[in-house]
Amino acid sequence: MVKFLKTNKVVIILQGKYTGHKAMIVRSFDDGTHDSAYRNCLVAGIKKYPSKVNPAVSGNETIEEEIVAVTIVVTDILF
């Protein structure tokens, strides 16, 4: 089988809690791990995108709106 899911490729997560989020493959486990016998990969993506900043909002609220939440998930390749 052709290995098309390689490191540093951008993917869209199609299953689970983060469905529809963009992510990047950090590492691919083709033979599985001791936890799972199936092929899986470690992906890192953005859980919460920053919201638009309004010029009328104060400084502390602006900082809270600019925060980006990151997620790191091990997902199964087969599904």
Does a structural domain hold residue 70?
Answer: yes
Provide the domain limits for residue 45.
Answer: 10-76
Q: What is the pLDDT of residue 2?
A: 64
Does a structural domain hold residue 4?
Answer: no
Q: How far apart are CA 21 and CA 78, in angstroms?
A: 18
Does a structural domain hold residue 62?
Answer: yes
Q: How far apart are CA 20 and CA 9, in angstroms?
A: 16
60 three-class SS: helix
Q: How far apart are CA 79 and CA 75, in angstroms?
A: 9
Does a structural domain hold residue 15?
Answer: yes
DSSP strands (E only) in the chain = 10-12, 22-29, 40-48, 69-76
Residue located via tokens 């691919």: 28
The CATH number of the domain holding residue 35 is 2.30.30.770
Does a structural domain hold residue 1?
Answer: no
pLDDT tens-digit readout, 6-57: 889 999 988 888 888 899 999 988 776 677 778 888 999 988 888 777 777 7
